[in-house]
Structure 1
Amino acid sequence: MPPVLTDLLLSATLALSLRRFILPYMVEDDIVRVSAPVTMVASAVFLAALALTCADKSFWSAGATLAGGALLAFVFGDRWPKLAVTAAAACLLAYLGMR
C-alpha cells in the first residue's frame, strides 16, 4: 500500500465532503433543510476522514493531506452534491480497504 495513494484518497474524501460539511455553518436558508440527508452523510464522511488523517498519518503526511484536501475543495464545485458525497464515501471505503 503506497502511502501517496492513501494520502490522495483521504485528500479526495476531505475535498469532496468539505463543502457539504460547512454548508449549515455558512448558509441559513431552505437549501440546508432540503439537503439535510446529504449533509448528514457528508458530515460523517468528512469527520471520519479527518479523524483517520490525524490518527494514521505522520505529522508531515497529515499536513499535506489536509492542505491538499482544502485546496481540492476549492476546485471541486457543488453542482451535484449527491454525486460528490457518494464519491467521497467511495474514496473513504477504498482507503479503509487498502489500510
Structure 2
Amino acid sequence: MGKIRGDRAFLLSLFIGIMACAVVDADTNSVFQPCADTLIQKSDGFTFGIAFSSYKSFLPDRTQLSPCDRRLSLSSANAQLAVFRPKVDEISLLTINTSSFSP
C-alpha cells in the first residue's frame, strides 16, 4: 500500500509541476493601431509600423512629419507600410529585404 500512495503522490506532484509550467502571461494590450498610444508591460504585444516612401513625401512645407501625421498623404505617394506586433521580451532582430523593394 505504501508504493501506491508513493505513486499517487509522485503523479500528483508531476501534474502540479506541469500545470505550473503551463501558466503563461497573457497579452493585455488591446491596441493594434501603430499610431495609437498605449501602456505595455512584459509579455504584452505592441504594434508598430514602418512607412517606406520617398524622402520628400515626409517633408511638406519643409517640415519633417511623422508617418502618423494626418497631414501627410502617403497613400497617394505610393508609400508602403510594414506592421509588426512582437512581444515586449521577444524583440531580437528586425531585417528588411531591400533587394526587391524600392520606395
TM-score for the superposition, normalised by structure 2: 0.23
TM-score by length of 1: 0.24
Structure having the higher helix fraction is 1
Question: Which one has a larger percent strand, Structure 1 or Structure 2?
Answer: 2
By relative contact order (CA 8 Å, sep 6+), the higher-ranking structure is 1
